[in-house]
């Protein structure tokens, strides 16, 4: 909880600073834009958070974004598939990828890093293959479908809620309930901390781990579809490039530990928003974004160091306290 | 009367306001084995750490060869000849034996490591500990017992005259432990002084020249060579007599509740083991470490599925490929290693207690929080778990209370068959007694209990019947009247049952 408050405070500070440095930060257009980007990245971050909670990692999701982002317009406009076939196909594709990752990680016990690193190369390669490296897009067609990502819901005069935010809210609520209120969420948190103790408690740890990879790739697929609907076209060479790193960074900033077993959906949302606000800040304040990675890298590093230090202090205090309580209760 | 090698006077040490040592004194002469014993939390480990320079005392004095010293680091202690052989080994697993012995002080030639010298020197020290292996063997290719010998060789290589050994046999097989005790004997005859900490009182009896007992951070008493016996050590440790210790009442056993037929474990696939536990019966499984006892329990429970055989619970066959099915049939396992298999240390007392029953108490997949809360309250009071709150992460509880949480988790599942693997390992005597009482109470409610223990007196004190395993198979069965340390050890070391029952008449101090 403290961790979430810390990251929330950081987000607010960054917002205030940026508002002071750039007058356009608080314009309705910019806010809508940041919200839209945050929503899209938030969906990816929630997905990867589930894998991180199991103690794993998913490096492939940027490539899944690329694969789905290219496959959807390609199937619709190049292959002329009907919508009713194309949508289930990309959905099955992304869920199938998660299933494959999960099976490789649990049944063959290959390290998640390796499995998803191969995925990262594989899916982008496949996307570049079937598109022959050509940009694919919707052109002027599929306007109603595209409103899923580009649509706006009037909220205040002069300010609309971008449609992806609705997706994010739904995904986040379902994810939070799943993680905190169902036995499966508890199983994930337990097996992330100690898979052996979870197994000895009768938890089907392999199934739960596979489920986490399915959630991750599934949400990456949803994100990929929304991303391409938002920007209208996808270039297979760089579409979704580095998105896995933004998502992982958001999850870690938001309180997921790469050691597993720790994480809250609210934190991940704030982490995702912070990443996008930072990117926005850099663009607005420096008017170019060549230092973007350096600044984002530094912010994440500082955040993680601060977290590790507070964790140590808390652990020490707690141990001493526990010792004192044991002594007094025995005396 | 020779000068003491190592002497400590009125050592005091506090951690965050808690007094771990309240004025402990001890001394060690050359060529002497001093055993330091005491319950967990009595201050043994703190004392050892101060002697070896890991921590420094708040007050009191430390003398080496009669000269006052204050060690500020392990290196300083080593330079005065005091070496600590750690409970968990302190070696670099991936390096070879020679590199480990000279780690941090490698002999050099032209600025490069002199491998040839390492090999010849290492061989000399390995000979001294009776280890005939090539110094270029990677450490992780050695069994744990030999790794420990390497650690001792390392201590000898810096001319250690005082060896402090903290539970050195806790992870060794019976055979390895025996050869370690022999080595200690040899080192003693060469004039090395040894401080030996162990929970295994039989070893202490066998090896110690003197016993120093600690209780609550103070000296509770000492025993000289002629006085060292099990009952005296225990009564000094707990401050009460042993006879009150095991509450066990034998009941008339009910119907067979667990029936294991020709079970073959993956570790010992050649051996078929059969056993029966009746309702209300407590059956012990004795044997040396590595005899296949844990494997047998884990095969029944389905976490390490058996390669053959059947298990029946109340006459119905179990699916031993699935722990979920086994749990559903009413079987629970309290595993040997509570930190790795029993608990999620960072999770709270409440979350740990409910972990095995979440699926039973779910409502359409949702957590049943009221039920979880009430189960936790019920178990905390039934097991007398000392915790400031239900939300306390279990890593901050004492070993005894952690073990009670593991047992509470399984009591919550209301099992008909309870499998316990070393249920009292590493916990203090008060918690042990509570666990014994609980076992008895469960048996009186008709639960069938099968427990593995390496402590012979625990088997003798608690079991209605004991099965003794040796190298993967059940070597024999002893009825309560036949239980004695001799009869169990005879079977556990491969002797036969007829011999075992012939010595049943010799009264054991522990057949209560």
List domains and CATH numbers for chain A. Answer: 2-316 (1.10.3470.10)
Q: If you measure CA to CA, which chain B residue comes closest to A180? A: B367
Measure the CA–CA gap between B49 and B441, rounded to whole angstroms.
Answer: 40
Q: Is A193 within 8 Å of B347 when comparing Cβ atoms?
A: yes
Placement of tokens 């749990």 in the chain: B327
Residue finishing a domain among B396, B413, B430: B413
Residue B363 is predicted with a pLDDT of 92
List CB contacts (< 8 A) between A261 and chain B.
344, 346
- pLDDT average, residue stretch B108-125: 89
Rounded (10°) CA dihedral A126, A128, A131, A137: 110
Q: What is the mean pLDDT of chain B?
A: 86
Q: Give the tens place of pLDDT for each residue, A86-131.
A: 999 999 999 999 999 999 999 999 999 999 999 999 999 999 999 9
The dihedrals phi and psi of B259, each to the nearest 5 degrees, come to -130, 110
Q: For residues A174 and B181, which has the higher predicted lDDT (pLDDT)?
A: A174
Closest Cβ opposite residue A326 in set B323, B386, B393: B386
Strand partners, B7: B27, B63
Question: Do B207 and B249 reside in the same domain of the chain?
Answer: no
Q: Is B183 on the interface with A (CB under 8 A)?
A: no
Q: How far is B368 from chain A (nearest CA, A)?
A: 9
Residue B166 is predicted with a pLDDT of 85
Question: Do B32 and B107 reside in the same domain of the chain?
Answer: yes
Is residue B337 assigned to a domain? no
Question: Do B355 and B290 reside in the same domain of the chain?
Answer: no
Is residue B336 assigned to a domain? no
Chain B, residues 314-333, CB within 8 A of chain A, namely 323-324, 326-327, 333
Number of CB atoms found within 10 A of residue B508's CB: 17
Residue finishing a domain among B382, B413, B444: B413
Q: Is B386 on the interface with A (CB under 8 A)?
A: yes
pLDDT at B64 over 50: yes
Residue A325 is predicted with a pLDDT of 61
Q: Is B370 on the interface with A (CB under 8 A)?
A: no
Q: Is B238 on the interface with A (CB under 8 A)?
A: no
Q: For residues B67 and B485, which has the higher predicted lDDT (pLDDT)?
A: B67
The dihedrals phi and psi of A241, each to the nearest 5 degrees, come to -60, 130
Q: For residues A313 and B272, which has the higher predicted lDDT (pLDDT)?
A: B272
Closest Cβ opposite residue B365 in set A182, A197, A320: A182
- pLDDT average, residue stretch B363-388: 93
Q: Give the tens place of pLDDT for each residue, B195-230.
A: 998 877 888 888 999 999 988 788 988 999 889 887
Best of B380, B396, B431 to mutate (most A CBs within 10 Å, chain A): B396
- pLDDT average, residue stretch B5-32: 86
Q: Is B358 within 8 Å of A196 when comparing Cβ atoms?
A: no
Measure the CA–CA gap between B235 and B218, rounded to whole angstroms.
Answer: 15
Number of CB atoms found within 10 A of residue B442's CB: 18
How many beta-carbon pairs below 8 A join chains A and B? 90
Question: Roughly what angle, to the nearest 10 degrees, separates helices A112-130 and A83-106?
Answer: 150
Question: Do B197 and B258 reside in the same domain of the chain?
Answer: no
Q: Is B363 on the interface with A (CB under 8 A)?
A: no
Measure the CA–CA gap between A202 and B283, rounded to whole angstroms.
Answer: 24
Q: Give the tens place of pLDDT for each residue, B222-242.
A: 999 889 887 788 778 766 555
Q: If you measure CA to CA, which chain A residue comes closest to B19? A: A327
List CB contacts (< 8 A) between B344 and chain A.
190, 193-194, 197-198, 261
Q: For residues B79 and B410, which has the higher predicted lDDT (pLDDT)?
A: B410
Closest Cβ opposite residue A197 in set B342, B358, B365: B342
Is residue B453 assigned to a domain? yes
Residue B18 is predicted with a pLDDT of 64
Q: Is A181 within 8 Å of B367 when comparing Cβ atoms?
A: yes
Closest Cβ opposite residue A182 in set B333, B367, B388: B367
pLDDT at B506 over 60: no
Least confident segment among A73-87, A301-315, B361-375: A301-315
**Domain that residue B33 falls in:** 6-243
Q: Is A199 within 8 Å of B18 when comparing Cβ atoms?
A: no
Q: How much of chain A, in percent, has pLDDT values that exceed 90?
A: 73
Going through B129-265 in order, the beta strands assigned E by DSSP cover: 162-166, 193-197, 210-215, 218-224, 256-264
pLDDT at B494 over 90: no
Q: Is B324 within 8 Å of A261 when comparing Cβ atoms?
A: no
Q: Give the tens place of pLDDT for each residue, B286-341.
A: 987 778 999 999 999 999 999 999 999 999 999 999 999 999 999 999 999 898 99
Is residue B335 assigned to a domain? no
Q: What is the mean pLDDT of chain A?
A: 92
Residue A329 is predicted with a pLDDT of 52
Question: Do B438 and B451 reside in the same domain of the chain?
Answer: yes
Measure the CA–CA gap between B322 and B318, rounded to whole angstroms.
Answer: 9
Q: Is B359 within 8 Å of A183 when comparing Cβ atoms?
A: yes
Q: Is A207 on the interface with B (CB under 8 A)?
A: no
Tell me the DSSP string of B285-311: EEE-TTSSHHHHHHHHHTSS--SEEEE
Q: How far is B312 from chain A (nearest CA, A)?
A: 19
Residue B16 is predicted with a pLDDT of 57
Question: Do B225 and B120 reside in the same domain of the chain?
Answer: yes
Question: Do B179 and B125 reside in the same domain of the chain?
Answer: yes
Residue B236 is predicted with a pLDDT of 83
Residue A326 is predicted with a pLDDT of 56
Chain B, residues 116-145, CB within 8 A of chain A, namely none
Is residue B405 assigned to a domain? yes
Q: If you measure CA to CA, which chain A residue comes closest to B337? A: A197
Q: How far is B304 from chain A (nearest CA, A)?
A: 10
Q: Is A311 on the interface with B (CB under 8 A)?
A: no
Q: Is B324 within 8 Å of A202 when comparing Cβ atoms?
A: yes
pLDDT band at B512 (very low <50, low <70, confident <90, very high): very low
Question: Roughly what angle, to the nearest 10 degrees, separates helices A112-130 and A61-73?
Answer: 20
Measure the CA–CA gap between A224 and A98, rounded to whole angstroms.
Answer: 14
Residue B26 is predicted with a pLDDT of 93
Q: How far is B89 from chain A (nearest CA, A)?
A: 23
Residue B357 is predicted with a pLDDT of 95
Residue A302 is predicted with a pLDDT of 85
User: In angstroms, what CA-CA distances link B509 with B200, B425, B492, B506?
Assistant: 16, 22, 19, 10
Q: Is B16 within 8 Å of A181 when comparing Cβ atoms?
A: no
Q: For residues B39 and B243, which has the higher predicted lDDT (pLDDT)?
A: B39
Q: Give the tens place of pLDDT for each residue, A227-255.
A: 999 999 999 999 999 999 999 999 998 98
- pLDDT average, residue stretch B369-394: 92
Q: Is A47 on the interface with B (CB under 8 A)?
A: no
Residue finishing a domain among B413, B430, B462: B413
- pLDDT average, residue stretch A153-175: 92
Task: Give the total number of structural domains in chain B.
Answer: 3
- pLDDT average, residue stretch B367-391: 92
pLDDT at A147 over 50: yes
Closest Cβ opposite residue B358 in set A183, A196, A330: A183
Measure the CA–CA gap between B66 and B6, rounded to whole angstroms.
Answer: 8
What's chain A's length in residues?
331
Question: Do B293 and B160 reside in the same domain of the chain?
Answer: no
Q: How far is A205 from chain B (nearest CA, A)?
A: 11
Question: Do B349 and B469 reside in the same domain of the chain?
Answer: no
Residue B138 DSSP label: B
pLDDT at B276 over 90: yes
Q: How far is B278 from chain A (nearest CA, A)?
A: 24
CATH code where residue B84 lies = 3.40.50.300
Is residue B310 assigned to a domain? yes
Residue A79 is predicted with a pLDDT of 95
Q: Is A108 on the interface with B (CB under 8 A)?
A: no
Q: Is A323 on the interface with B (CB under 8 A)?
A: yes
pLDDT at B76 over 50: yes
Contact B83, B77 (CB under 8 A): yes
Question: Do B306 and B445 reside in the same domain of the chain?
Answer: yes
Placement of tokens 């043994």 in the chain: B44
Residue B90 is predicted with a pLDDT of 75
Q: For residues B289 and B397, which has the higher predicted lDDT (pLDDT)?
A: B397
List CB contacts (< 8 A) between B343 and chain A.
194, 197
Measure the CA–CA gap between B170 and B203, rounded to whole angstroms.
Answer: 11
Q: Give the tens place of pLDDT for each residue, A263-289.
A: 999 999 999 999 999 999 988 888 777
Q: Is A199 on the interface with B (CB under 8 A)?
A: yes
- pLDDT average, residue stretch B451-478: 90
Q: For residues A330 and B181, which has the higher predicted lDDT (pLDDT)?
A: B181
Measure the CA–CA gap between A115 and A104, rounded to whole angstroms.
Answer: 7
Question: Do B63 and B171 reside in the same domain of the chain?
Answer: yes
Measure the CA–CA gap between B109 and B88, rounded to whole angstroms.
Answer: 33
Closest Cβ opposite residue B367 in set A183, A190, A201: A183
Q: How far is A28 from chain B (nearest CA, A)?
A: 40
List CB contacts (< 8 A) between A325 and chain B.
388
pLDDT band at B388 (very low <50, low <70, confident <90, very high): confident
Q: Is A181 within 8 Å of B344 when comparing Cβ atoms?
A: no
Residue A331 is predicted with a pLDDT of 44
Q: If you measure CA to CA, which chain A residue comes closest to B361? A: A183
List CB contacts (< 8 A) between A182 and chain B.
362, 365-367
pLDDT at A314 over 60: yes
Measure the CA–CA gap between B23 and A245, rounded to whole angstroms.
Answer: 56
Best of B19, B305, B346, B388 to mutate (most A CBs within 10 Å, chain A): B346
Is residue B1 assigned to a domain? no
Q: Is A201 on the interface with B (CB under 8 A)?
A: yes
The dihedrals phi and psi of B7, each to the nearest 5 degrees, come to -140, 135
Is residue B402 assigned to a domain? yes
Count of alpha carbons within 13 Å of A118, Cβ hemisphere only?
11
Alpha carbon of residue A303 to chain centroid: 18
Q: How far is A327 from chain B (nearest CA, A)?
A: 7
Question: Do B58 and B192 reside in the same domain of the chain?
Answer: yes
pLDDT band at B509 (very low <50, low <70, confident <90, very high): very low
């Amino acid at each position: 909880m403290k961790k979430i408050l810390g990251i929330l405070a950081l987000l607010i500070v960054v917002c205030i600073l940026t508002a002071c440095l750039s007058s356009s930060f608080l314009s309705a257009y910019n806010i809508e834009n940041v919200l839209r980007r945050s929503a899209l990245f938030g969906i990816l971050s929630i997905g990867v958070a589930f894998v991180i909670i199991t103690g794993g990692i998913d490096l492939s999701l940027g490539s899944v974004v690329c694969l789905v982002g290219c496959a959807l317009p390609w199937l619709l406009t190049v292959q002329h598939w009907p919508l009713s076939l194309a949508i289930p196909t990309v959905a099955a594709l992304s869920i199938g990828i998660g299933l494959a990752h999960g099976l490789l990680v649990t049944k063959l016990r290959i390290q998640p890093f390796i499995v998803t690193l191969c995925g990262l190369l594989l899916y982008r390669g496949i996307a570049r293959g079937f598109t022959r490296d050509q940009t694919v897009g919707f052109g002027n067609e599929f306007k109603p479908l595209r409103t899923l990502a580009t649509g706006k819901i009037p909220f205040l005069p002069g300010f609309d809620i971008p449609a992806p935010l609705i997706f994010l809210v739904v995904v986040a609520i379902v994810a939070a309930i799943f993680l905190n209120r169902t036995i499966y969420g508890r199983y994930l948190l337990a097996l992330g901390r100690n898979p052996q103790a979870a197994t000895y408690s009768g938890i089907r740890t392999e199934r739960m781990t596979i489920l986490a990879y399915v959630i991750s790739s599934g949400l990456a697929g949803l994100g990929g579809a929304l991303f391409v609907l938002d920007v209208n076209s996808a270039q297979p060479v760089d579409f979704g490039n580095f998105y896995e790193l933004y998502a992982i960074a958001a999850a870690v900033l938001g309180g997921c530990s790469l050691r597993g077993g720790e994480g809250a959906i609210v934190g991940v949302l704030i982490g995702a928003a912070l990443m996008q606000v930072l990117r926005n800040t850099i663009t607005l304040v420096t008017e170019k974004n060549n230092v973007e990675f350096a600044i984002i890298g530094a912010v994440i590093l500082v955040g993680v160091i601060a977290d590790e230090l507070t964790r140590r202090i808390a652990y020490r205090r707690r141990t001493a306290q526990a010792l004192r309580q044991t002594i007094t209760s025995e005396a | 009367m020779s000068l003491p090698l190592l002497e400590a006077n009125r050592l005091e040490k506090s951690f965050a306001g808690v007094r771990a040592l309240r004025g402990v004194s001890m001394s060690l002469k050359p060529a002497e084995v001093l055993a330091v014993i005491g319950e967990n939390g009595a201050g043994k480990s703190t004392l050892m750490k101060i002697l070896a320079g890991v921590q420094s005392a708040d007050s009191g004095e430390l003398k080496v060869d009669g000269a006052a010293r204050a060690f500020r680091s392990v290196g300083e202690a080593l330079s005065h000849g005091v070496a600590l052989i750690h409970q968990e080994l302190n070696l670099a697993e991936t390096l070879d034996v020679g590199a480990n012995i000279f780690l941090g002080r490698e002999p050099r030639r032209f600025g490069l490591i002199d491998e040839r010298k390492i090999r010849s020197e290492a061989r000399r020290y390995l000979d001294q500990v009776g280890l005939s292996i090539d110094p270029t063997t990677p450490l992780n290719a050695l069994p744990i017992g030999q790794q420990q010998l390497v650690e001792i060789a390392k201590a000898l290589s810096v001319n250690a005259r005082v060896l402090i050994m903290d539970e050195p046999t806790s992870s060794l097989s019976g055979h390895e432990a025996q050869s370690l005790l022999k080595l200690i004997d040899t080192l003693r005859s060469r004039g090395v002084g040894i401080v030996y900490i162990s929970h295994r009182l039989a070893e202490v009896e066998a090896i110690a020249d003197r016993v120093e007992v600690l209780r609550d951070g103070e000296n509770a008493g000492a025993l000289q060579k002629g006085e060292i016996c099990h009952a005296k050590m225990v009564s000094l440790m707990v401050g009460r007599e042993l006879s009150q210790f095991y509450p066990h009442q034998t009941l008339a056993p009910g119907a067979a509740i667990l029936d294991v037929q020709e079970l073959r474990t993956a570790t010992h696939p050649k051996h078929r083991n059969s056993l029966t536990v009746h309702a209300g019966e407590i059956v012990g499984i004795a044997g040396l470490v590595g005899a296949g006892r844990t494997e047998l329990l884990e095969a029944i429970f389905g976490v390490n599925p058996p390669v053959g055989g059947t298990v029946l619970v109340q006459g119905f066959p179990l699916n031993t490929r699935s722990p979920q099915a086994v749990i559903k049939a009413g079987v629970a396992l309290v595993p040997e290693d509570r930190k790795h298999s029993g608990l999620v240390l960072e999770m709270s007392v409440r979350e740990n207690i409910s972990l095995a029953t979440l699926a039973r108490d779910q409502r359409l997949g949702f957590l049943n929080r009221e039920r979880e809360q009430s189960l936790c309250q019920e178990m905390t009071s039934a097991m007398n778990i000392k915790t400031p709150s239900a939300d306390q992460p279990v890593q901050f509880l004492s070993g005894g209370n952690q073990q009670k949480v593991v047992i509470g988790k399984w009591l919550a599942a209301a099992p008909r068959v309870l499998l316990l693997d070393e249920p009292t390992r590493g916990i203090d005597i008060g918690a042990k007694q509570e666990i014994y009482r609980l076992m008895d109470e469960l048996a009186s409610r008709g639960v069938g209990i099968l427990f593995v223990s390496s402590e012979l007196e625990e088997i003798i004190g608690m079991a209605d019947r004991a099965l003794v395993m040796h190298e993967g198979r059940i070597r024999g069965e002893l009825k309560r009247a036949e239980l004695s340390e001799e009869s169990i050890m005879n079977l556990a070391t491969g002797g036969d049952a007829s011999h075992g029952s012939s010595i049943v008449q010799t009264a054991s101090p522990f057949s209560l």
